Amino acid sequence: MSNFISIQELENTKSKYMSVKFHDYIEGLDLIQPLDVELEVKSMGEFVEISGNVKGIVKLVCDFCLKEFEYKLDFDINEMFAKNSLLDSYGQEIELKGDQFVTDLCGEDKIDICDLLYQSVILNIPNQKVCGINCNRGSFASEEELTDPRLEVFKNLDINPK
């Protein structure tokens, strides 16, 4: 299977619609198993809409205890691509949903599935990676060691209005 969606092939379909299945690893992601992806690709005049679901398991490192853990991925994709440069004036308007962005293809004739999936996975990994509810937050001896000495100046600050 190709790792690209051909705009010309999409335009040549009678319905201007393609179904794409992807089952592979993505370079740069520490995946436990290949991603399972089902995408619907629609030509909408000057735009291409790609929507679908991504499932997989990625290996992460806990931000607190630094242990590796597996994180289950299961999220939806809904992306818009402009076939021509966004700087060009478009003859039609299109409504974007709250979670959509428009990627400018700048006249490219294909969409890189691996790049789309890489970016989507990265954006769906939590900012704070925690191995689980029972994380011991590392082997800190006491709460004292967690205190930042630069914040000592605020200990004597009276914030109660009189």
Closest by CA position to 110, among listed 17, 4, 16? 4
Q: Does an H or E element contain 56, and which?
A: strand 47-61
pLDDT band at 125 (very low <50, low <70, confident <90, very high): very high
DSSP string, 96-145: PPTT--EEE-TT-SEEEHHHHHHHHHHHTS-SS--S-TT---S--S-GGG
Q: Which domain holds residue 98?
A: 4-137
Would residue 92 count as lying in a domain?
yes
Neighbours of 143 (CB within 10 A): 7
pLDDT in tens, 51-110: 999 999 999 999 989 999 999 999 999 999 988 765 555 555 555 555 556 777 777 889
Residue 122 located in a structural domain = yes
Closest CA to 45 of 19, 18, 10: 10
Asked, for residue 153, whether it belongs to a domain, the answer is no
**Residue type for 79, please?**
E
Residue 66 lies in a domain: yes
What's the domain count of the chain? 1
